[in-house]
């Protein structure tokens, strides 16, 4: 959500319910909610804001699939193709014995790539300077943010006020 020098309408709440009401009301009048900032995930807000379902599970699936094939390939290559030894009279192709390692690698790669994808998509990285919409977002405040470009700012502010915003202000900043 970085784009430079926008002006935003920021409404802060102490009550998630109120914020939820505000979002619904705004959406009812086709306002586009830029984002909501909260100390914890508010249930029902996804639908209210119309956030689409994340596609991260696909990453997991593909990465896992790749890892599984890779792991099996590694084991078949090393123990059968490249260096086939007589180990305890067992047949070369002891596929069953290869299951545990395959599973572990699948989980490992699947998990790590999911997290990586998440951090990439949400542009989180070590040392990034936070851009807070309002004071106490990470403590007990909730903020509803609209972009100034939104057609009827006055209307929006009205709705927000009605829905119980504690403070409503317009400020230019980077989010």
Using CB under 8 A as the binding rule, whether residue 10 contacts another protein is answered as no
**Binding track, positions 13-32, relative to another protein; x by CB under 8 A:** -xxxxx--------------
Q: What is the dihedral of CA 38, 19, 21, 45, to 10 degrees?
A: -10
Q: Which of the ranges 4-12, 24-32, 132-140, 146-154 carries the binding residues for another protein, by CB under 8 A?
A: 132-140
Site for another protein in 53-112 (CB under 8 A): 53-54, 56-57, 60, 74-75, 78-79, 82-83, 85-91, 94, 97-98, 100-101, 103-105, 107-108, 110-112
Measured between alpha carbons, how far is residue 21 from residues 26, 76, 160, 174 in Å? 9, 58, 9, 26
Using CA atoms, how far apart are residues 155 and 148, in angstroms rounded to an integer? 12
Comparing C-alpha atoms, which of 97, 131, 102, 110 is closest to residue 59?
Answer: 110
What angle (nearest 5°) sits at the alpha carbon of residue 20, between those of residues 19 and 26? 90
Q: Applying CB under 8 A, does 173 fall inside the site for another protein?
A: no
Residue 5 within binding range of another protein, rule CB under 8 A: no
Q: Contacts with another protein in 101-120 (CB under 8 A)?
A: 101, 103-105, 107-108, 110-112, 114-115, 118-119
């Amino acid at each position: 959500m970085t784009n430079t020098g926008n002006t935003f309408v920021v409404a802060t709440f102490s009550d998630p319910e109120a914020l939820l009401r505000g979002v619904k009301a705004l959406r009812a009048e086709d306002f586009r909610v830029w984002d909501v900032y909260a100390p914890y995930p508010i249930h029902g807000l996804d639908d209210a804001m119309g956030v689409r379902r994340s596609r991260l599970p696909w990453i997991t699936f593909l990465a896992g699939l790749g890892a599984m094939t890779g792991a099996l390939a590694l084991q078949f290559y090393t123990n059968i193709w490249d260096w086939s030894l007589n180990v305890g009279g067992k047949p070369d192709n002891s596929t069953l014995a290869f299951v545990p390692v395959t599973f572990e690698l699948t989980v490992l790669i699947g998990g790590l790539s999911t997290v990586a994808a998440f951090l990439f998509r949400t542009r989180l990285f070590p040392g990034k300077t936070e851009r807070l919409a309002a004071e106490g977002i990470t403590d007990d405040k909730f903020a509803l943010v609209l972009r100034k470009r939104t057609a009827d700012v006055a209307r929006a502010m009205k709705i927000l006020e009605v829905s119980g915003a504690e403070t409503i202000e317009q400020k230019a900043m980077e989010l």
